[in-house]
Amino acid sequence: MSVGFLRPEVAAGLVRWREVIASVAALAIGGWLVWLGGWLLMPLGAAVAVLAVAWGLIALRRLRFLRGVAAPGVVEVDEGQIGYFGPTFGGFVALSDLAEVRLAVFYGARHWRLKTTAGEVLLVPVDAAGAEKLYDAFAALPGIDMARLAAAIDRGVETLPLWRRETTALARD
């Protein structure tokens, strides 16, 4: 985003917070519709305001995943598949094959440790380019607690399973 009259760090901050800013704008529009009143505008404004608040909460959680790029490699999320292209390792994991998500530290850097039902493991650096896309991919997992995941990334919780797929096959392990 190139805005001539803003300093580069201010413009970068606006880009980072753009989804939260948009949800606040939607909340203001909802409030304005409620203020206009009437049988049609009041319920419409209330619905817009409720959706804007929900959108803002999700945007704030997603913002926790948006970190500066400090690790090599690129994360790709495409059609239910997470891919990591790194300089020394990488691979793909289908969301339907995912059995466990952990936050782990390897060589001083935090990684998402994604384990498949077959026992294969893919390590994805938390601060790799495109790692913010993992929020939406993880949100599609059945029974995942996204608040717990976002809190773990903020606190730096390591090696605890943050999510496990509930199946009878995994229960025997």
H/E element, 134: helix 134-139
What per-residue confidence (pLDDT) applies to 107? 81
Average pLDDT over residues 34-39: 91
pLDDT bucket at 171, cuts 50 / 70 / 90: very low
Greater model confidence, 28 or 65: 28
The one-letter amino acid at 27: L
Torsion (CA) 54, 111, 85, 99 in degrees, nearest 10 = -70
Q: Does residue 71 contact residue 125 with C-beta atoms inside 8 Å?
A: yes
Between CA 78 and CA 81 the distance in angstroms is: 5
pLDDT in tens, 102-144: 988 888 888 899 999 999 999 998 888 888 888 889 989 999 9
- pTM reported for the whole predicted model: 0.66
Q: Decide if 141 contacts 153 (C-beta within 8 A).
A: no
